[in-house]
Structure 1
Amino acid sequence: MAALLLRHSARQCLLSQLRPTFCMRSALPMGTSAKQEMDRYWEKNTRLNRPVSPHMTIYQWSLPMFMSITHRGTGIALSAGVSLFGVASLVLPGDFASHLELVKSLSLGPTLIYAAKFALAFPVAYHSWNGIRHLAWDLGKGFKIPQVTQTGYIVLALTLLSAAGLAAM
């Protein structure tokens, strides 16, 4: 009965533009306020000892989850790296050849140089190969779980091979 009365009252308010104050006064009061609802919600969560928000530790890590996070991270790192190198090239004195000579004068071992080159090549290779995988997804290919896992391993293998090849140059 109350729902019917509320519906009738709302319809009358919409149809009648003459007395908006009457419509405001004639509306039925709600059972609880938003504050009361939120207090009841938090009281229940506290009583049941529920966490405030789910944390990443409650989820079982999967390859697609890891690769998605890594793809975003490498994208941010590459954007920041390119921006920093661009600003550094504008601000720092000298040219590329002088900076290369500075690195050579440090007499770093070949293993350390290879590791540094691999660390620079890895995000580029990973983001590129995983970007190609995303382009395939944009075409509607490879959405089944076994295919997602298989292409994930393929991307990781291609990333390691290409980063190692680029670092060897």
Structure 2
Amino acid sequence: MCSKGNSVKYVPYVSSHDPDHDHKNMTLKRPMSPHVTHYAPTLPAMTSIAQRATGAIITTYALGLAWGSLFLSNGAETYVSIIQSLNLGTFTIFLLKIGLGAPFCFHYFNALRYIAWNAGKFLDIKSVYDTSYKSMMVAGVFSLLFALL
């Protein structure tokens, strides 16, 4: 129940004249907070960044293929024969296959780690590093196998 003697009084808003965080710290001569580059990179952070980068690479591949199928009118066989006419060496073709396939392999096997994390598995720091190394090794092995075949 409300008492009948209370009333609401509307007062116009007056902003505070306090300086923002950065100006206050400069006035007090406080040092700036260390930037990310101040700290050594950790493996979990690097695999997270690599996961995002490989996702962007795979998206670029997909958009390139879609663009090519829309705007390149001669069909895939023509472009395959153009690449074959370059007479690239076996080692160069192997390196190109690795370069094209490694982002797929890393992205796939690293994503399996994230799926396991979402299920609540392998979240202690030892397992995080262990699964990181294992996913990179498996991705490397599969990249090599795909490039050899």
Tell me if both proteins adopt one fold, taking TM over 0.5 as the criterion. Answer: yes
CA–CA separation in structure 2 for the residues paired with 1:145 and 1:124: 26
CA–CA separation in structure 2 for the residues paired with 1:116 and 1:73: 18
Could you tell me which residue of structure 2 aligns to residue 65 of structure 1?
45
Q: Larger deviation: 86-95 or 99-108?
A: 86-95
CA–CA separation in structure 2 for the residues paired with 1:109 and 1:45: 61
| Structure index of larger Rg | 1
Give the drift of 1:56.
2.6
Q: How many residues align?
A: 144
Could you tell me which residue of structure 2 aligns to residue 48 of structure 1?
30
**Letter matched to residue 30 of structure 2:** L
Q: Which has the higher contact order (CA 8 A, sep 6+)?
A: 2
Could you tell me which residue of structure 2 aligns to residue 139 of structure 1?
119
Could you tell me which residue of structure 2 aligns to residue 24 of structure 1?
10
Query: Whose helix fraction is larger, Structure 1's or Structure 2's?
Result: 1
Could you tell me which residue of structure 2 aligns to residue 116 of structure 1?
96
Secondary structure (helix, strand or coil) at the match of 2:79 reads helix
Q: Does 1:78 align with 2:58?
A: yes
Q: Does 1:100 align with 2:86?
A: no
Give the drift of 1:96.
1.3
Cα displacement string for residues 4-44 of structure 1 (whole angstroms, at most 9, x for unaligned residues): xxxxxxx99xx63xxx5xx124x9x98x81x4231xx3234
Instruction: Give unpaired runs (5+ residues) of structure 2.
Output: none
Instruction: Give unpaired runs (5+ residues) of structure 1.
Output: 1-10
Could you tell me which residue of structure 2 aligns to residue 5 of structure 1?
none
Q: 2:18 aligns with which of 33, 36, 60?
A: 36
CA–CA separation in structure 2 for the residues paired with 1:97 and 1:50: 58
Q: 1:128 aligns with which of 108, 111, 119?
A: 108
Moved over 3 A (4+): none
Secondary structure (helix, strand or coil) at the match of 1:126 reads helix
